[in-house]
Structure 1
């Protein structure tokens, strides 16, 4: 998720301030204030990448560390062996780009680090290859440590990118399944699954009924109890448990029932206790059974 609100911008600005302040103090200690201002220029570009785009490929530790160090080596080498600065400067940048490419640590501010080694003045040129370690190596370490510390408290922008906590990708919504889909699947199964289309329709109705709201638990199904499915359509019915046979578990007990009201007429059937609990929505007191059936008939006649 992209976070571009004011707190995010303030975190980036604060990180850049702290990082460059420390880099400037260290550079001034080793090369003096005047030369330090030249050295810090390349680190300023790195600070923009590290604190404004901490998860970018050019902002990761190896590009920052390797890019600056290898570019510093390229710059010092060209300064020492090419006397004309008009040739040494572009050669240093070109060599730095090539080395960064092969080392897989492309970091654009590295070009400025190489260029500073050539055009930074006598104070920097006299350092020779010491320029690679002080101040460039120290500056790279400082800016990386500050980037880790400033971004660490914020899970979404922790540095380096491998430490960032990303939100899991959203799960795709499951496609809606209709009775026609179930019928097609049943036909594909062929003789492996002996279920009639009428039984499948009942199964689909029970599944819809279950998805639509709460239902009873198997422990609520008892011998002699009357249960309604709570439907408001033509499939409304009430069943009364008239017998039960133990199964492997209470949920698998086989119960026999008779239909006392509703579309099923006066038929009977048998199923597991769990299946009847899935079908039922409420237990109906026996004295209410007849009245409920009559009320249902009256309501249908009024339509």
Structure 2
């Protein structure tokens, strides 16, 4: 028993997952990455030759790391188009600037390029780990990169970023469970919904982990992370289940549901104290607007909600 406990502790410490993708998923991820990388390599060189752009730097080394993300973790936050394109472009600009102004001391230039690119990606909500390598390559990539100057931002950075996003969208699309971007998967994923009145059993950790496994594609969260998320969700669900006594124009309210039933509505106005006009700010119907009676809106809402600094909706105390 002690040996098993020790081995389990070692597994958790090292981050070895118990939930692993199927062999089919491994094969598809590897094959699509192979085809995409080959196409990007050939297309980049062909396009630049047709445009009479003479450069040896027609492909980013860091695009290989991007390929791992978009083909292995296609539904991950760090893999989405804005993260890929924005992360690489911002990092490329910072890398070129750092070499231009601090290139006399390559160690300082390299460190600043990576550090500042991380800061910028966080601020612009496009964190993409390979972007750090793109910034670093602008500093230590050699003469072929240095001679490009700010043209490095366009070629190979922008060119490769657009090609990898296009390739990931095209080659992942035939496989419904790994369509890219993630919006294409979640938009068309028809999940059987069970109303609260029809539920007979409490959701267990085993049920939750099984659901994750059924997702099929790799999700970048550890086993312990999933369990913590599940337990925190249950803890929040135990909070008082009351409806607001009244509603206010300009405030947002949540129905406190889970999954696709969750919605946050912002009260645009209250007409004649009887009719509520609202905009949907979160949920599957985001962007839509509607109206209903004040009484119905109060019955629908569970609590007042607001976004925190990181853009996450939460309960107003």
- Looking at structure 1, the residues matched to 199 and 30 of structure 2 have their Cα atoms a distance apart, in angstroms, of 46
Name the residue aligned to 2:29: 12
Name the residue aligned to 1:180: none
Report deviation, 1:46.
0.5
Report deviation, 1:31.
6.6
Aligned length: 172
Distance 1:90 1:174, change over 3 A: same
- Looking at structure 1, the residues matched to 193 and 71 of structure 2 have their Cα atoms a distance apart, in angstroms, of 28
Contact residue 46 and residue 59 of structure 1 kept, 8 A: yes
Provide structure 1 residue ranges, at least 5 long, that are not aligned to the other structure.
177-303
Distance 1:158 1:123, change over 3 A: same
Name the residue aligned to 1:25: 42
2:151 is the alignment partner of 1:130: yes
Distance 1:175 1:15, change over 3 A: closer
Which has the higher Rg, Structure 1 or Structure 2? 1
In the alignment, which of 64, 68, 71 is matched to residue 48 of structure 1? 68
TM-score, with length taken from structure 2: 0.50
Distance 1:101 1:175, change over 3 A: closer
Bigger fraction of residues in helix: 1
Contact residue 68 and residue 136 of structure 1 kept, 8 A: yes
Provide structure 2 residue ranges, at least 5 long, that are not aligned to the other structure.
1-18, 201-317
Report deviation, 1:152.
1.0
Report deviation, 1:3.
8.7
Q: Could you list the runs of 4 or more consecutive aligned residues of structure 1 that deviate by over 4 angstroms after TM superposition?
A: 26-33
Report deviation, 1:23.
2.9
- Looking at structure 2, the residues matched to 31 and 19 of structure 1 have their Cα atoms a distance apart, in angstroms, of 24
- Looking at structure 1, the residues matched to 79 and 24 of structure 2 have their Cα atoms a distance apart, in angstroms, of 21
- Looking at structure 2, the residues matched to 111 and 45 of structure 1 have their Cα atoms a distance apart, in angstroms, of 11
Report deviation, 1:84.
1.1
| Bigger relative CO (Cα 8 Å, ≥ 6 apart) | 2
Contact residue 32 and residue 171 of structure 2 kept, 8 A: yes
- Tell me how large the CA RMSD over aligned residues is: 2.3
TM-score, with length taken from structure 1: 0.53
Name the residue aligned to 2:79: 59
